């Protein structure tokens, strides 16, 4: 079984999956480049890609819980467009997958990361946490978009973008929440 995190941005969408029960898991990470000018078209394209990964790969197909980052920002039109994409993506999961939306503050707080800081500091903290909490093995990193279409290319953890680190951190926070609930349930 795996848990996942999805980082949705105006230029790319990243999903990360990590297995439950491993101390330093090897995450599977997929990044899809897109520009959201037409939110419905972008949502349909991303939903199709997500469906493919959920059905065709073992790490993503074994998802039992996934956290999607809530859109945020100062531009209401951008938040609206990202919310449309978020809804399309959330609808792609089977009914046995627990899907939740979380704010950046919420998942950062669960991992003890800073919630409020300069953007560069928040990005660096997520990358450092993801590197420290996961295995040093090669990860799956795939790109699909207008400018690049390279599949199965390995990338070291040190090469992760802040979006990939955010998705991994969301998956780690989701796993932490599940493990905490399981311990509390077992102690009752």
Tens digit of each residue's pLDDT (9 = 90 or more) over 126-178: 888 888 888 654 444 443 332 222 233 444 444 678 888 899 899 999 999 99
CATH number of the domain enclosing 72: 3.30.420.10
Q: List the domain range (segments joined by +) for residue 26.
A: 2-186
| Higher pLDDT among residues 19 and 146, named by residue | 19
DSSP output for 33-73: E---SSHHHHHHHHHHHHHHHHHH-HHHHTEEEEEEEPP--
pLDDT at 128: 86
Residues 38-60 have a mean pLDDT of 72
- Rg of the chain over all Cα atoms, to the nearest angstrom: 16
Looking at residue 57, what is its pLDDT? 67
Please give the model's pTM, rounded to 2 decimal places: 0.80
- pLDDT score recorded for residue 173: 93
pLDDT tens profile 145-158 = 322 222 334 444 44
Contact 178, 20 (CB under 8 A): yes
How much of the chain, in percent, has pLDDT values that exceed 70?
81
Q: What is the pLDDT of residue 10?
A: 73
Per-residue confidence (pLDDT) for residue 148, from 0 to 100: 29
- Domain count for the chain, please give it: 1
pLDDT at 59: 66
Mean pLDDT, all residues of the chain: 77
Q: Counting beta carbons within 10 angstroms of the beta carbon of residue 160, is it exposed (0 to 12), middle (13 to 18) or buried (19 or more)?
A: buried
């Amino acid at each position: 079984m795996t848990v996942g995190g999805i980082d949705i941005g105006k230029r790319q969408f990243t999903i990360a999956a990590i297995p439950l029960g491993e101390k330093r898991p090897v995450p599977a990470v997929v990044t899809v480049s897109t520009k959201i000018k037409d939110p419905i078209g972008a949502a349909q394209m991303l939903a199709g890609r997500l469906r493919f990964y959920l059905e065709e790969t073992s790490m993503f197909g074994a998802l039992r819980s996934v956290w999607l980052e809530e859109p945020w920002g100062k531009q209401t039109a951008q938040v609206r467009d990202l919310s449309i994409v978020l809804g399309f993506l959330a609808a792609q999961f089977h009914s046995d997958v627990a899907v939740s939306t979380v704010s950046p503050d919420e998942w950062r707080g669960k991992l003890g990361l800073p919630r409020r800081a300069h953007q560069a500091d928040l990005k660096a903290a997520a990358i450092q946490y993801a590197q420290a909490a996961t295995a040093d093995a090669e990860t799956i990193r795939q790109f699909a978009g207008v400018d690049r279409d390279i599949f199965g290319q390995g990338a070291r953890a040190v090469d992760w973008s802040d979006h990939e680190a955010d998705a991994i951190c969301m998956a780690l926070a989701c796993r932490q929440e599940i493990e905490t609930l399981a311990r509390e349930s077992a102690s009752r």
